[in-house]
Amino acid sequence: MPYSKIHINPISPEPTSGSVLVIYTGGTLGMVYETKGRQLVPFNFDQIIERVPEISRLDFAITFLSLPEPIDSSNMNPAIWIELAEIIGSNYDQFDSFVILHGTDTMAYTASALSYLLENLNKPVILTGAQLPIGVARSDARENVITALELAAARNEQGNPIISEVCIYFNSNLLRGNRSKKKESSDFNAFHSENYPALATAGVRIEYNLPYIKPFLPGVELVVHKSLNTQVAFLKMFPGISPEVVQAVMNIPDLRGVVLETFGAGNATTDIWFLSTISRAIKNQIVIFNVSQCDGGRVAQGHYQTSKYLQQAGVVSGSDITPEAAITKMMYVFAIESDYQNCVEMLGKPLRGEMSI
């Protein structure tokens, strides 16, 4: 099925201030009620101006590209992440910025994955979506889309983009994509970034938090990575976890790495069977990445005895990384690096501002 594309040029007589490519992937945002009946159906982007007339008042050219088959983001997968990265790569010189319309459920995973796939990114890539479909009167879609477009088009006095990284814009907050997390399934304030401040907040004016925004780097060339390795797993600790569960995960054939979701500041049971299973996995060159179940704070291996043993076994500290950024980081690192020790080093340091040192 072909991609559908429509162009919207500004009607304002003023000179345009850039061009934005909007990529529609699906999700709640793109739903409207069909004329007959009360059923929500996917939105036809030819009618975008009818649905969001404010778009035609924006002072820049916008091109809408719809994926051949819009999806609920619960069906998002690494192949589509690579497709999105390739679309951005092949349109990088023609457009000044990119907005991705995406379901909220897995938006934080997509934003994290794209942050790794798009190395040396120097233009804005802003993901947004909505909690209520665009065809519903009280929908948050209009504000989210319009402000995401304005943030994407924003330039500083030197004419460079103010934002040059992958972000999520939602409910007045612009967040670093690989620091974001969906925290709400019904409130409009659906995303948060517990360990990194908002990059901008949109009220009457848009206030930028400049010290926290990745600086624009003149002269760097975008590198689009085109593979991800899915030989990864999550293992979430809980009191009473059985040896069978832990061993079943560690014995997955060809497994390269596990995101171990630990308690508090990176703690786990000190039961001998658990520690010996972890040590055996590490000896078999499975990377274990320690990420906390808490949204705020960070892993501090060695602070308690219950994490010291993990550190001694060679578990890699995830510091304050989110689980979404951790699992996608593993997919990226394992795709570009086969050496176990090099993978450990890459996972333990920030690659795209996804964790604090």
Active-site amino acid positions? 28
Dist CA 28 CA 31 (whole Å): 6
SS3 5: strand
Assess contact for 209 and 199: CB atoms under 8 A: yes
In sequence order, the 6+-apart residues with CB closer than 8 A to the CB of 356 are: 195, 298, 319, 320, 350
Kindly state the smallest distance separating residue 25's Cβ from ligand ASP, in Å: 9
Assess contact for 87 and 65: CB atoms under 8 A: yes
The helix or strand, by DSSP H or E, that contains position 176, with its residue range, turns out to be strand 173-176
Dist CA 174 CA 143 (whole Å): 13
Sole residue written with tokens 């002269």: 219
Kindly state the smallest distance separating residue 94's Cβ from ligand ASP, in Å: 28
Dist CA 280 CA 294 (whole Å): 27
SS3 74: helix
Q: Counting beta carbons within 10 angstroms of the beta carbon of residue 254, is it exposed (0 to 12), middle (13 to 18) or buried (19 or more)? A: exposed
Kindly state the smallest distance separating residue 107's Cβ from ligand ASP, in Å: 7
Bridge partner list, 19: 61
Kindly state the smallest distance separating residue 102's Cβ from ligand ASP, in Å: 7
Residue with the shortest CB distance to ligand ASP: 103
- Cβ neighbours of 221 (radius 10 Å): 8
Q: Which residues bind to ligand ASP, rule: CB under 6 A?
A: 26-28, 72-74, 103-105, 129, 131
First to last CA, the chain: 45
Kindly state the smallest distance separating residue 177's Cβ from ligand ASP, in Å: 15
Kindly state the smallest distance separating residue 40's Cβ from ligand ASP, in Å: 11
Is the Cβ of residue 111 or residue 288 nearer to ligand ASP in the bound state?
Answer: 111
Instruction: Tell me the DSSP string of 233-259.
Output: EEEE--TT--HHHHHHHHTSTT--EEE
Amino acid, res. 81:
W
The helix or strand, by DSSP H or E, that contains position 153, with its residue range, turns out to be helix 141-153
Is the Cβ of residue 129 or residue 177 nearer to ligand ASP in the bound state?
Answer: 129
